[in-house]
Structure 1
Amino acid sequence: MRHIVKTPLSLVLTVCGLVMAPACAIAAPPITLQTGTATYSVDPATLQIDAHPNNESVVAVMPPLHPAESATPERDGAGWRWTDAEGRLITLSTEGDALRLTLTVTGTTRLVWPLPAATDGTWLIPDGEGMAYGAADPFWRAAYKTQRCLGGTTLLSFPAWSYLTKTRAVTYALGDGLASKLCVIDADGLQTRLSHDFSEGAGTLELLFALGAPEPLAPAHFFRQLMIDRHQHTTFADKAVPDLPRLFGAPQAYVWGDGRDLAFLDDLKTLGIDRIVLSYDQNPRENKTVVGPAYLKRAAAMGYLAGPYDAFDNGQPPATADSPSAVWSDDLYPSGCIITADGKPKVGFANRGCYMSSEAIARHPGPSVTGARYAGHIADGANQVFIDVDAFGDFFADFSPDHPMTQAKDRANRLTRLNQGIDTYHLVIGSENVTAWSSGVAHYSHGTAQTHALAIWPLLSDKRFNGWWPGERPPLFFTPFTPTADEARSLFGAADRLPLFEAVFHDSVVAADRWEFGLMKVKGEERRRFARALLYGTPTMWNLDRRELARVGPWLKAAQDDFRTAHGVDTPVALTGFDWLTPDRLVQQTTYADGRVLTANFGDAPWQGLASDCVRVARPKTPPVDLCPPADPPAFK
């Protein structure tokens, strides 16, 4: 705890001279604000923040942002405001049980603020569903030997995280994750720092700090309540469309080759699948089998959701485009490409064409370009559409004089066109890696089940994992992949994972795996992933054709039936609790707002009669039932 010594003014004048330099200016006293169970002390000269919990020792919340400087705070309602030596406008107040700090900058600059040094606690970070990183864990220290950053609108499923100790959780949250990153690196333990790029549309950094009980869902509970209090949290009822009930309790699958034949739908019916989400990515130039209106009509009649992969972010020459979604009208491509600061078109993902400007698309005269896409899918018979990239949160500035755009404007455009699919065209809408900012304009997310900061991107370019051809049965989706022990832990290690995303959004967004990570893709992880999907209440992902359906059919049927036993098929309710029941964190428990309690055993030995990789479902006044994965399927051929 810092001790403040009051010095007589006469002594200050004697030491510093009659003309006082900034370094000799009289320091403003610390500002104290009480909220929740703590009193916060903020030094306006350095922005050091300490918390004083009731009858406990001082907790370091943030270290000094800069060396001591002259500061003259002024009252601002119940809070304070002042301008620091770099011209940043700073405000300080409380919101609910949190301390709220904002820094506003005019112009372009970057702020980097390390968090207090971590020792033996645990970082709770919502990368994917959620990660629990022991600060002293040698495995994660080695993994983060090189700094890795998670964007506040991209790899952070929501922009809040906590440092958990045995006695408390210190939670940090961003009011808006735009242009912010949480960076993690090993430096005598896992350390974190916050960075923010001030620019037009991202000129204010809003931070919230809160002390709470030492529980694993601390950042999720804080952020969910923050969204509710700010009227930013949407439920499925807020995004209702006629076929939305078909989403709940449905496995999700991409169909390939003869999985796009009507006979495949007959196979599903014979197997007893009465609820599933079918998606497809088709290229009439390359694929022998494409989904047509007859397939979609049959799927809809069977009670399924079915519809295409689409994307609005890529443009390619029509003569050589590798996807129909990359073909635009002559007055949009190439004139609608994003232009970088050096005046060149921004090259598209995987060096394909260019990134299309959402502003150019939005400004296009006449009927809505994206609306025409949605209407075309509906005319074909689709009742759901997956829009790639849009919800991911990677925004671009466009320097074209014809369609200039800031990152903030890019975000607004993407929100508008995703919402258009729901509000205007009444489709069930999915997108890639839905996070907090896009949760109000999507019904389901592909990719949330994966942690992205470490393992995903290197694997997707690994020869053991990759391969798009033949297009009827791409190895990327079908050929099993055997991870190393370290890869298996990075991707799926049970003790390191927790359902932070579900604790915020289970009643708002259905979260699933990336399409490359179907349940049967990673050898040796099938049973564990089956159990985790039940524990979290999230659907399984599949890549199917008729041959694969014949091989894995019993698993798909069990995934449907066991999910129904555990969670039903009605609108999901909130996930309210999570706990580790054993010191090794391999026996885990979730609770739901309707009173259900699910317990999963990820250990190698039975726990209280619950077998390995099985889930026990307990409802009020109902005997518990244990759900286990089926027998291993036949070998892949």
Structure 2
Amino acid sequence: MKKMIIAGLALFLIISTACSHNSNAETSSQIDKENNKRIEYAQGDFTYEAIPETFALKVTKDGTTETIAEPQKKRTVTNLKKTATETSWDYPDDQLHITIKKEAKSLAVSIHSTNPKTSHFEWPRVDAPNYTLPISEGKQIPKNDSAWKKYFSTDGEQTMNEYFSMKFFTLNKEKFAVSYVMPDTYNNDILFQTDPGIQFSINHTFSSVNKEKDYKYQIFITDNNPVAIAKNYQNYIKDHHQFTTLAEKEKQNPEIKKLYGAPHAYLWNSRVLTEADVHWNKLQTSINNPMFDWMGTLLDKYGEDGSAEYRTVLDNIKNGEMYQYEKNMILNAFQYTLQMPQLYNPDIFKNPDVTAKKYIDKGIKNLNEQELYDLNKHLIGSHIQGLTTPINDWGQSNSTAIIKEMEQAGIKNAWIGLPNWVNGLMNPLSVDAAAAAGYLVGPYDSYQSIQQDASIDWNTASFPDPTLYEEATVENEQGDKLTGFLGKGRKLNPTLVFNAVKTRVDGILAEGIGFNSWFMDVDAAGELHDDFAKAHPTTQKEDAAARMKRLDYLNKKGLVIGSEGGNDYAASHIAFAHGLETPVIKWDDPDMRENEDSPYFVGKYGSMDGKAPTRYSKIVPIKDEYKPIYTSPVYSIPLFKLVYNRSVITTHHWEWDSYKIKNQSGERRLKEYLYNTPPLFHLDEDTWKLHQDDISANMKNWTPFQQEALKHEMTNFQTLDSDRLVQKTEFGSKLQVIANFSNKNFSLEKNSVPAHTALIINDGKITKISTDNLN
């Protein structure tokens, strides 16, 4: 495709508008050839030795012997067989059969259980000077690093499905790397030990619900660098037909190209009736309108917190008090009651307007969700005419106005996420405005939890089928139901709720709302369960397949799909993911999650004023001990991008947007360019005004950079100084990013890279990314 040269941009796409169609085709062909060039990284010229009694495993290459699986307690061994290329034996006491086979490029290990009951087997236990692990985007961890030792001493057990973004782990031995690659990570826990240095083992559960009793590894020897490790894994998944490029996904859904060069922004239009929409000077004289008392009755019957506080506010307004507290309480009451199917009361709304009457005649029980909200808006709007702006103006100041200003700022592509589908159905004009701007726009959705009496604020945990709570929820082996998010409700079994997914999604889309994207919570985050319920036993593999089925259902509707995490079992089913680059930081630290007086408190989920909750908008520091674990470039490596740069666009978790961490926004921006990670923001009127100039200026560089970077494989990653604070990535053969995270200027050949700066070098042309104005 021919690229326009955009005047004034520091970064140019080096494709001349004078080039002929044939030249462009040759360029595209050359890129495809470069991307599809296969290099073999696996080195098969090694021998192995297995010690069956302890299941120790050694390999020898070029005269160097390394133990790659540490010896364990001695076990009774029977049925031992050895050939030149294969060793097998039984552990009769554990009901296990072991097979190790030397193949051309790898060592295949198979552990088969004959025990029908749930059992566990811990292997391998590994020890190395350094580890290359797909923790989120990727980490390289020295065995004796004090920060990681402290972390693993308190978080010593991790579920591999959730903790690793890809299906391998690597030991960095002195002269070569050893990668354990798995067909899947189901039923694996990682057990870390820290004394004297970091070691870990994998504890596999042979679950009684799972009839497939095989636990397998393919062990590869490669050069000892992240590129060889990651690219060898990429070869493995390609060989197993588990790699789908964005270009291939785009053939099925052309809307995906709107992601290329787009920032990701959650837009908090949480109220359809905003402060700007109410004529507050008229409210005191209108407060005796019986509708306000009726709203109190509805809040008593159906509201989670009742109406006591609301009725106090009504009295305050009658007495002439009209402060921000009173305004917020009234607006929140409107937002609640506008969502209630019980709002229509013929004794209150005696003269509905034409639109409302049309819906009433249709029958309120027959209305879809968007029609219900439109009915309620017209009931209230016509009943208190003159107290508010016209209905079509409701909610536009905190949604459509921001979108139009983004357009005017020159932002061509953007992904806009709504915290809930209600925000779109109540305000379809804002969705239309985003789509008309050429943006992707879609709601957050979740099927993780179900509650018996979910509040309006937690509608993702509410389902019309009352049988799901008892008949479609997950049980552990003891027969206990697993609790839902934040300890409320229960966990849903995804194999049993596909019809509920279709009902919800089809209901949301019934009136043609302009959503062209969809964000599905946790489906790519690895939170998978064995369900031991006798009525519906389910394996983790079946759990994952059911999640992919619903993602594919959304894909077939032409929606651009994203999910939390981005773990690679979902890579072929999603276009983008939130949470891989910056995951949730230390979920169980009370200073961050509970102690509101702590400087590290991340904020609350709820928002009294309708703006972005402080959970997402409050800028906070993180403790020094967490920086090496979550944010420091010293330990970070772009493992996932070296594998999936052309397949999945990944960015931060929504709790940790690009501005969230105090004094790290500049460092994180450098990393966004280095790793091809889109910026992620939370926007309301206040945050847009605060960050508007910075976002707009950054997009002038970000958009053309990512559009070019996504055409190519990430082909290289290097650290350029001994402190690992100057790093370089390469995309294809002509695009490079050099990021200097240090406090010192750095010189590389003819280029000077100032401190806290990145250089983008595209076919010799240089763009400087400065972070001087960021905290």
Question: Does TM-score exceed 0.5, indicating one fold?
Answer: yes
Indicate which of 401, 408, 422 corresponds to 1:263.
401
Give the match's secondary structure for 1:390: strand
> Which amino acid in structure 1 is aligned with residue 562 of structure 2?
G
Do the aligned partners of 1:586 and 1:601 also contact (CA within 8 Å) in 2?
A: yes
| Correspondence list, 1:236-247, <5 A | 236-240=246-250, 241-247=253-259
Aligned equivalent of 1:58 = 65
Aligned equivalent of 2:221 = 211
Tell me by how many angstroms 1:216 deviates. Answer: 2.7
Indicate which of 595, 617, 629 corresponds to 2:760.
617
Aligned equivalent of 2:526 = 393
2:409 paired with 1:281? no
| Correspondence list, 1:573-592, <5 A | 573-592=712-731
Over residues 175-231 of structure 1, what are the superposed CA-to-partner deviations in whole Å (9 max), with x where a residue is unaligned?
A: 211011233231111111111111243622111222221213444223211101111
> Which amino acid in structure 1 is aligned with residue 642 of structure 2?
A
2:49 paired with 1:41? yes
Tell me by how many angstroms 1:375 deviates. Answer: 3.2
Distance in 2, Cα, partners of 1:92 & 1:518: 46
> Which amino acid in structure 2 is aligned with residue 249 of structure 1?
G
2:693 paired with 1:554? yes
> Which amino acid in structure 2 is aligned with residue 373 of structure 1?
R
2:516 paired with 1:383? yes
Distance in 2, Cα, partners of 1:275 & 1:569: 14
Note closer, same or farther for the CA distance 1:275–1:461 as it changes in structure 2 (3 Å cut). farther
Tell me by how many angstroms 1:334 deviates. Answer: 2.2
Note closer, same or farther for the CA distance 1:404–1:331 as it changes in structure 2 (3 Å cut). farther
Over residues 424-462 of structure 1, what are the superposed CA-to-partner deviations in whole Å (9 max), with x where a residue is unaligned?
A: 21211111101121112111111101256x735534556
Distance in 2, Cα, partners of 1:164 & 1:436: 23
> Which amino acid in structure 1 is aligned with residue 580 of structure 2?
T
| Correspondence list, 1:132-143, <5 A | 132-143=140-151
Tell me by how many angstroms 1:89 deviates. Answer: 2.0
Tell me by how many angstroms 1:246 deviates. Answer: 0.5
Tell me by how many angstroms 1:65 deviates. Answer: 4.2
Aligned equivalent of 1:220 = 230
Give the match's secondary structure for 2:148: helix
- The number of aligned residues is 586
Unmatched runs of 5 consecutive residues or more in structure 1 = 1-33, 363-367
Aligned equivalent of 2:741 = 602
Aligned equivalent of 2:263 = 251
Tell me how large the CA RMSD over aligned residues is.
2.6
> Which amino acid in structure 2 is aligned with residue 153 of structure 1?
N
| Correspondence list, 1:398-477, <5 A | 398-422=531-555, 424-451=556-583, 455-458=586-589, 459-461=592-594, 463=596, 464-470=601-607, 472-473=610-611, 474-477=613-616
Tell me by how many angstroms 1:95 deviates. Answer: 4.9
Note closer, same or farther for the CA distance 1:571–1:483 as it changes in structure 2 (3 Å cut). closer
> Which amino acid in structure 2 is aligned with residue 267 of structure 1?
E
2:460 paired with 1:325? yes
Distance in 1, Cα, partners of 2:500 & 2:730: 44
2:502 paired with 1:361? no
Note closer, same or farther for the CA distance 1:425–1:96 as it changes in structure 2 (3 Å cut). farther
Note closer, same or farther for the CA distance 1:630–1:252 as it changes in structure 2 (3 Å cut). farther
Distance in 1, Cα, partners of 2:477 & 2:456: 26
Note closer, same or farther for the CA distance 1:78–1:183 as it changes in structure 2 (3 Å cut). same
2:457 paired with 1:337? no
Do the aligned partners of 1:555 and 1:630 also contact (CA within 8 Å) in 2?
A: no
Tell me by how many angstroms 1:252 deviates. Answer: 0.5
Do the aligned partners of 1:451 and 1:491 also contact (CA within 8 Å) in 2?
A: yes
Indicate which of 55, 74, 78 corresponds to 1:67.
74
Distance in 2, Cα, partners of 1:370 & 1:572: 34
Give the match's secondary structure for 2:566: coil
Note closer, same or farther for the CA distance 1:599–1:35 as it changes in structure 2 (3 Å cut). closer
Do the aligned partners of 1:44 and 1:71 also contact (CA within 8 Å) in 2?
A: no
Distance in 2, Cα, partners of 1:267 & 1:291: 21
Over residues 339-392 of structure 1, what are the superposed CA-to-partner deviations in whole Å (9 max), with x where a residue is unaligned?
A: 444444332111222212213214xxxxx3323333344431111110001121
Aligned equivalent of 2:486 = 350
Tell me by how many angstroms 1:82 deviates. Answer: 3.6
Over residues 394-418 of structure 1, what are the superposed CA-to-partner deviations in whole Å (9 max), with x where a residue is unaligned?
A: 2223344443323232122112111
> Which amino acid in structure 1 is aligned with residue 606 of structure 2?
W
Do the aligned partners of 1:337 and 1:355 also contact (CA within 8 Å) in 2?
A: yes
Note closer, same or farther for the CA distance 1:437–1:618 as it changes in structure 2 (3 Å cut). same
Aligned equivalent of 1:541 = 680
Tell me by how many angstroms 1:573 deviates. Answer: 2.5
Aligned equivalent of 1:197 = 205
Indicate which of 642, 652, 659 corresponds to 1:503.
642
Over residues 556-585 of structure 1, what are the superposed CA-to-partner deviations in whole Å (9 max), with x where a residue is unaligned?
A: 123322223433267442212211110000
- The higher radius of gyration belongs to 2
Do the aligned partners of 1:100 and 1:208 also contact (CA within 8 Å) in 2?
A: yes
Distance in 1, Cα, partners of 2:163 & 2:87: 33
Do the aligned partners of 2:449 and 2:492 also contact (CA within 8 Å) in 1?
A: yes
Give the match's secondary structure for 1:299: helix
Tell me by how many angstroms 1:599 deviates. Answer: 0.9
Unmatched runs of 5 consecutive residues or more in structure 2 = 1-41, 270-394
Indicate which of 657, 668, 690 corresponds to 1:529.
668
Distance in 1, Cα, partners of 2:692 & 2:440: 19
Aligned equivalent of 1:16 = none
Do the aligned partners of 2:66 and 2:173 also contact (CA within 8 Å) in 1?
A: no
User: Stretches of 4+ moved more than 6 A in 1?
Assistant: 75-78
> Which amino acid in structure 1 is aligned with residue 401 of structure 2?
A
Note closer, same or farther for the CA distance 1:304–1:570 as it changes in structure 2 (3 Å cut). farther
TM-score by length of 2: 0.71
Note closer, same or farther for the CA distance 1:78–1:167 as it changes in structure 2 (3 Å cut). closer
Distance in 2, Cα, partners of 1:198 & 1:559: 50
- Choose between structure 1 and 2: higher helix proportion: 2
Note closer, same or farther for the CA distance 1:351–1:83 as it changes in structure 2 (3 Å cut). same
Distance in 2, Cα, partners of 1:553 & 1:513: 19
Do the aligned partners of 2:161 and 2:527 also contact (CA within 8 Å) in 1?
A: yes
> Which amino acid in structure 2 is aligned with residue 316 of structure 1?
Q
> Which amino acid in structure 2 is aligned with residue 564 of structure 1?
T
Which is worse superposed, 298-307 or 234-243?
234-243
Higher relative contact order (CA 8 A, sep 6+): 2
Give the match's secondary structure for 1:494: coil
Give the match's secondary structure for 1:627: strand
Note closer, same or farther for the CA distance 1:308–1:140 as it changes in structure 2 (3 Å cut). same
Do the aligned partners of 1:519 and 1:542 also contact (CA within 8 Å) in 2?
A: yes
Give the fraction of aligned pairs with identical amino acids, expressed as a percent: 23
Aligned equivalent of 2:322 = none
2:235 paired with 1:100? no
